[in-house]
Structure 1
Amino acid sequence: MNRLIAFALLGFSTLAVAEEAKVAQAQPVVEHYTYSTDLDIAKVISVSPTQDVCEVVPAQMTYEDHQGQRHILEYRIMGNGCSNG
Structure 2
Amino acid sequence: MNLFILALTALLATSSVFAADNANVIHDKTGFFVHLDVAKVLSSTDTYGQCGVVPARLDYLDHQGREHVLDYQVQATGCASDN
> Shorter-chain TM-score: what band?
0.5 to 0.7
2:39 counterpart of 1:39: no
Write the distance in 1 (CA, Å) between the matches of 2:36 and 2:51. Answer: 28
- How far apart in 2 are the matches of 1:29 and 1:62? 9
Contact 1:31 1:71 in 2 (8 A): no
Question: 2:24 touches 2:67 (CA, 8 Å); kept in 1?
Answer: no
Structure showing greater radius of gyration is 1
Q: C-alpha offsets along residues 20-55 of structure 1, whole Å, 9 cap, x if unaligned?
A: 4432423443532x2211111000000022163321
Does residue 65 (structure 1) correspond to residue 62 (structure 2)? The answer is: yes
**Structure with the higher strand share, 1 or 2:** 2
Partner of 1:3: none
Root-mean-square deviation (CA, aligned residues, Å) is 2.6
1:26 counterpart = 2:24: yes
What SS does the aligned partner of 1:77 have?
strand
Residue 46 of structure 2 corresponds to 49
- Structure 2: distance between partners of 1:21 and 1:76: 26
- Work out the percentage of aligned pairs sharing the same amino acid: 34
Q: Secondary structure at the match of 1:58?
A: strand
**What amino acid maps onto 2:74 in structure 1?**
I
Q: SS of 2:50's equivalent?
A: coil
- Residues 53 and 76 of structure 2 are in contact (CA less than 8 Å); yes or no, is this contact kept in structure 1? yes
What count of residue pairs does the alignment treat as equivalent?
70
